[in-house]
Amino acid sequence: MSAQNQHSAQNLPHMSFRSYVEALKKDNDLVEINEECDPQLEVGAIIRKVVESDERAPLFNKLKGQDQNGLWRILGAPNSLRADPKQRFGRLARHLGMQPDSSMKDILQTIVAAKTAKPVPPRVVESGPCKEFRLSADQIDLTKLPAPLLHKSDGGKYIQTYGMHIVQSPDGKWTNWSIARAMVLDRNHLVGLVLPPQHINQIHEMWKKESKNMPWALAFGVPPAAIMAASMPLPDGLCEAEYIGSLAGSALEVVKCDTNELFVPANSEIIFEGHCSVTEKAPEGPFGEMHGYVFPGHAHDQPVFTVNAITHRKDAILPVSCCGRIADETVCGVAEAFLRV
C-alpha cells in the first residue's frame, strides 16, 4: 500500500475514533450536548436512557472538571443498538468498516473471514495525534478530571469501561490488547480487574515471576476495529494488533510510549502510560454489571496501576459504556459468537 493510501486508511471510521464520531454524525446517530453536564451520575443516567430507548449516541462536549485543553469530552453508548430496524447494528458495523445497514450475519462473516486471513503487522510511526498534549507525573490528578460515577452504588469512578489495556510479556514475544474495567483510586493510580484466565492476567503472572512490575498502557478512543479485536477471545500468544490489520484490511499505525517500551495506536484520543504492580492491591468495585445487578459495598482486592504520564489529542473524547439491565454494547456478545463460528 502506498504512503498516501496508508494515510487515507488511517482516517476511515473503523481506523480512527475521531472519524467514527464524524460517521455517526453523518448517519444522524449522534446528539451533541453542549450544556455542562456532571460526570457524577448525570452522564451515566443520560447514557442509560439512550441505551434503553435505542436513541442516538450522546457526545458530552462540556463536563465539570475539564481542563484547559479539553481533557476530556465523553461519548456514551459507543456500540449500542439503533432504533431503525434497517440499521439495528449500525454502530457495530461502523466499527468494522461496514455499511450501517449490514446484518448480524454479514458482521459475523466479516469477523470469521479475518480469523483465517494473513496477519498484517502494525506500522510504527514517529508520532501521532495522541502526542498532541502531555501531562507528566507531577501534573496528573485523576481525582480532578471528569471520570464518571456511572451508578450510585459503584465503588468508584470508572474511567475505564471502553478503553484498551496494552501489556507485553517479559520476553517481548506477546503483546496483548484487552478490555477490562478500572476505576480511579487516587491522584495517579487506578485499580482494575486482572482476572484468570484472561490474557492480561497470564502476562501479569509472567512479570510476577520476574519480580518486576508490568509495563502498561491504557488507550482510550482507539480505532473501533482495535476495540473489537481487544474484546475477542483470541488464542494465547496471538497479538491483537496483527489481527486488526486482517480485520481492517490495512496495517494499523502505532507509536511508542514516552515512558516505557510499549506501542499504542497513534491516533488514539487519550493514552495513560505507567505500570501495573505485581505486589500492591486495593479494593475494586462494586460496579453496575451488564447483567443488571450490583452488590453495594462488595469489593475485591485487585492490582494497582500507576499512571506516570498522559498524552492526548486536543478536545479528547473518552468513550464510556454504562452497563445495565438490557443487552447493550454488542461488542462482547459478538466476540463470544466469534468463538462458536
Predicted confidence at residue 335, as pLDDT, reads 57
Residue type at position 76: G
State how far Cα 285 lies from the chain centre. 19
**CATH number for the domain running over 119-316:** 2.30.110.10
Considering the entire predicted model, what is its pTM?
A: 0.92
Say what the pLDDT of residue 67 is. Answer: 85
Beta strand spans in the chain (E): 30-33, 57-60, 73-76, 123-124, 133-136, 164-168, 175-178, 182-186, 189-192, 214-220, 253-256, 263-265, 270-284, 300-312, 317-320
Could you read off the pLDDT tens digit of each residue along the chain, which spans 341 residues? 555 556 678 899 999 999 999 999 999 999 999 999 999 999 999 999 999 999 999 999 999 999 888 899 999 999 999 999 999 999 999 999 999 999 999 999 998 888 788 889 999 999 999 999 999 999 999 999 999 999 999 999 999 999 999 999 999 999 999 999 999 999 999 999 999 999 999 999 999 999 999 999 999 999 999 999 999 888 888 889 888 888 888 899 999 999 999 999 999 999 999 999 999 999 999 998 766 677 777 789 999 999 999 999 999 999 999 988 765 455 555 555 555 45
Q: Would you name the residues annotated as active-site residues?
A: 289
Residue in 224, 195, 222 with CA at minimum distance from that of residue 303: 195
pLDDT of residue 119: 86
What does the domain layout of the chain look like in residue ranges? 3-111, 119-316
